[in-house]
Structure 1
Amino acid sequence: MTAAAAHPPRSHGETADERRARYDADEVHSLRERVAEARWRRRLAASRSLNHSYRVGVGVVGGLIVAVGFVTIPLPGPGWLTVIAGLFVLASEFTWAERLLEFTKHHVKRWTDWLTARSIWVRLLVGLATAAFVYGVLVLTLHMMGVPDWVPGWVPLWR
């Protein structure tokens, strides 16, 4: 969708209610389009330098969140959730991130649907395999970086 198609020209006398009615008549409202229609975002977009600075800021913040997510994927915790949160931030301004977020949502839903259609034993095996992988990454990380002194000796980790 081009910028002209996403934001059709407004007449000078258009009220907020008329703009909202025109916006509601559209069929699809992406996150980026909803953010772009917000009053505060339109004010930022009116100034070229503010608009550019805002987009750079969104890119930097979203990129950092995605980077932290990628680093934490193999560690216990919300690695993939952090990556998706970073994509959400980036998708508020960038079409490519919006497409990637939609792709990710589609495949996560497919995986969830597939897994919930399986028997409880398959789901338990997937859960155990995931837990074993996370435990293995944790042990490997602690082996490479060293086990902290505060970890009790009875905890089953490499020393």
Structure 2
Amino acid sequence: MSAAGRPTPETAGERRARYDADGMHSLRERVALLRWRRWLAARRGIDHGYRVGVGIVGALIVSVGIVTIPLPGPGWLTVIAGLFVLASEFTWAERLLEFTKRHVSRWTDWVTAQPLWVRMLLGLGTAAVVYGLLVVTLHLMGVPDWVPGWVPLWR
């Protein structure tokens, strides 16, 4: 309370501490505490447009990630990044992200507990699937002209 008897404004740190004490730690709740996000939330039309924009951008990132999963590169990482974007605004995405993190962690723990030969076999199997998908894709779509002739692919 101030000297005039009015409540003093709460700082962002105090607000975060209060929410942490209440057990609110989700990404969506932490984003909602930010000043710019509260400013948007107070303006319904802008807030709705922002949420639609977050949904579109997040869905595009997830879509690119899903398409690139079978290809060499960060397919799953891209999907998870898209879920992070969506989870900043949507509860369902936050739950899906937690589900994904939990299962990826379980898979990683299981793989690291296996003997070296099992991990090598998993790696070779993954490489074979990726190579097979690459060959099938190139066979269906055609080998680009910029690929040198010495690369062992169908022409």
TM-score (norm 1): 0.88
Amino acid at match of 1:146: G
Between the aligned partners of 1:127 and 1:21, the Cα distance in structure 2 is: 45
Alignment equivalent of 1:60, drawn from 40, 56, 59: 56
Instruction: State the number of aligned residues.
Output: 149
Post-superposition offset of 1:67: 0.9
Does residue 88 of structure 2 align to residue 89 of structure 1? no
Between the aligned partners of 2:107 and 2:41, the Cα distance in structure 1 is: 39
Post-superposition offset of 1:49: 0.5
Does residue 102 of structure 2 align to residue 106 of structure 1? yes
Alignment equivalent of 2:150, drawn from 133, 150, 154: 154
Post-superposition offset of 1:117: 0.2
Between the aligned partners of 2:35 and 2:154, the Cα distance in structure 1 is: 56
Partner of residue 51, structure 1? 47
For structure 2, the residue ranges without an aligned partner over 5 or more in a row are 1-5
Amino acid at match of 1:123: R
Please give the per-residue CA displacement for 1:8-62, whole angstroms capped at 9, x wherever unaligned: xxx9644215423312312240000000011110011010011101100000000
Does residue 137 of structure 2 align to residue 141 of structure 1? yes
Amino acid at match of 2:120: L
Q: Is 1:70–1:79's contact at 8 Å kept on the other side of the alignment?
A: yes
Q: Is 2:16–2:33's contact at 8 Å kept on the other side of the alignment?
A: no
Between the aligned partners of 2:42 and 2:51, the Cα distance in structure 1 is: 13
Between the aligned partners of 1:18 and 1:83, the Cα distance in structure 2 is: 34
Percent sequence identity is 77
Between the aligned partners of 2:75 and 2:129, the Cα distance in structure 1 is: 14
Between the aligned partners of 1:149 and 1:123, the Cα distance in structure 2 is: 37
TM-score (norm 2): 0.90
Partner SS state of residue 95, structure 2: helix
Does residue 92 of structure 2 align to residue 129 of structure 1? no
- Aligned alpha-carbon RMSD (Å): 1.6
Partner of residue 7, structure 1? none
Alignment equivalent of 2:23, drawn from 1, 24, 27: 27
